[in-house]
């Protein structure tokens, strides 16, 4: 809440930093981009992560090896994630555009078109985060007693019914925890976006964390940058409070 800039005297400016960011169209843009990123990014990773966990709960031959391979993406550093996909999605020599060409589609300029850049970010982020959802859901899925599933199948339930009536009640709380935790993580995504797109093109992938970084560490507007930080913190608190309350209650009970 000050107008701090390196070398200049510090003045208390009340809420004016918040007024400034709220009237800044770039802040509003990055707020909506964050919302879009979190909603789409978390939704795809939750759905795919749960599906992968369901598939793996069938216990294949060589289960351990498959698990190792499926978890591999989560060992990637954000910087490496950005690098890898910048190559894969490269318009001139990237394998993905080549494959698309072979399949009869027109190559996409992933990082110069706003819509495609955002789509690329969602794909990359999902690829990286699926294992994170997986390790939270998989243990609770394999804890569902086999007899229950078999009994339901004998009674003539189809796959969808088995999932919604037998498996879902078992994994509901794990899903909720995963949802909250993945949202909190998505809200702080920074490195992968910076390396992949730098927030561009035309601020299409500029989420709040990138906006904060640019305000503070590029333009040295520490005051507004800190105000953006407070906004991120508030959103995080709202999202995380049910889980904190839940864990707190467990903590008190045991």
Partner 1 sequence: MNILNKKKIFQSLFYYFLLICVVIWSIIPIYFVVSSSFKIPRDIFGYPPSIIPVETTLSNYVNLFIDSPEFMPAIRNSGIVALSSMLLTIVICLPAAYVFSRYKQSLFRQIAILLIAIRMFPPLVISVPLFPILNQLKLSDNQIILIILYTTFEVSIITLILKSFIDSIPFEVEEAAYIDGARMDQVFFYMILPLSKPVLVGISILVGTYAWNEFQFAFLFTSVNAKTTPVLIGEMVGALTGIQWGILFAASVVQFIPALLFLWIIQNQLIHGMAVGAIKG
Structure tokens at 226: 């800190």
> Residues touching partner 1: how many (CB under 8 A)?
81
Instruction: Identify the residue whose tokens are 């009536």.
Output: 165
Nearer to partner 1, 40 or 216 (CB): 216
Rounded to an integer, what distance in angstroms lies between the CA atom of residue 37 and that of residue 205?
Answer: 8
**Quick one: which segment of 13-21, 39-47, 69-77, 145-153 binds partner 1 (CB under 8 A)?**
69-77
Is residue 112 involved in binding partner 1 (CB under 8 A)?
Answer: no
Enumerate residues 11-40 that contact partner 1 by CB under 8 A.
none
Rounded to an integer, what distance in angstroms lies between the CA atom of residue 199 and that of residue 27?
Answer: 13
Nearer to partner 1, 4 or 118 (CB): 4
Rounded to 5 degrees, what are φ and ψ at 15? -95, 15
Residue from the set 1, 24, 132, 157 that interacts with partner 1 by CB under 8 A: 132
Contact between 76 and 128 under an 8 Å Cβ cutoff? The reply is yes
Nearer to partner 1, 102 or 147 (CB): 102
Can you say whether the dihedral through the CA atoms of 131, 135, 136, 138 is positive or negative? Answer: positive
Nearer to partner 1, 29 or 83 (CB): 83
Enumerate residues 153-212 that contact partner 1 by CB under 8 A.
174, 177-178, 180-181, 184-185, 187-188, 190-191, 194-195, 198, 209, 212
Enumerate residues 35-64 that contact partner 1 by CB under 8 A.
52, 55-56, 58, 60, 64
Is residue 122 involved in binding partner 1 (CB under 8 A)?
Answer: no
Q: Whole-number minimum distance, CB 218 to partner 1, in Å?
A: 11
Locate all alpha helices (DSSP H) within the chain, ordered by sequence.
16-22, 25-56, 63-71, 78-88, 95-102, 114-142, 146-154, 159-162, 168-187, 191-196, 208-213, 222-253
């Amino acid at each position: 809440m000050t107008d701090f800039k390196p070398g200049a005297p510090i003045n208390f400016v009340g809420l004016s930093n918040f007024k400034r960011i709220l009237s800044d169209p770039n802040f509003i843009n990055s707020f909506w981009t964050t919302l879009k990123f979190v909603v789409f990014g978390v939704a795809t990773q939750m759905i795919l992560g749960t599906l992968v966990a369901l598939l793996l709960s069938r216990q294949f031959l060589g289960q351990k090896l498959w698990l190792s391979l499926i978890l591999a993406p989560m060992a990637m550093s954000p910087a490496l994630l950005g690098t890898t996909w910048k190559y894969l999605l490269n318009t001139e020599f990237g394998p993905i555009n080549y494959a698309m060409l072979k399949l009869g589609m027109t190559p996409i300029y992933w990082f110069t078109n706003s819509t495609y850049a955002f789509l690329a970010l969602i794909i990359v982020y999902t690829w990286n985060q699926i294992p994170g959802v997986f390790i939270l859901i998989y243990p609770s899925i394999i804890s569902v007693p086999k007899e229950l599933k078999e009994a339901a199948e004998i009674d003539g339930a189809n796959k969808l019914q088995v999932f919604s009536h037998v498996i879902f009640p078992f994994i509901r709380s794990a899903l909720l925890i995963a949802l909250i935790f993945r949202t909190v993580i998505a809200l702080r995504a920074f490195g992968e976006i910076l390396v992949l797109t730098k927030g561009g093109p035309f601020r299409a992938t500029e989420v709040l964390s990138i906006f904060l970084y640019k305000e503070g560490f590029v333009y040295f507007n520490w005051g507004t940058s800190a105000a953006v930080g407070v906004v991120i913190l508030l959103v995080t608190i709202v999202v995380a409070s049910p889980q904190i309350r839940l864990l707190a209650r467990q903590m008190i009970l045991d």
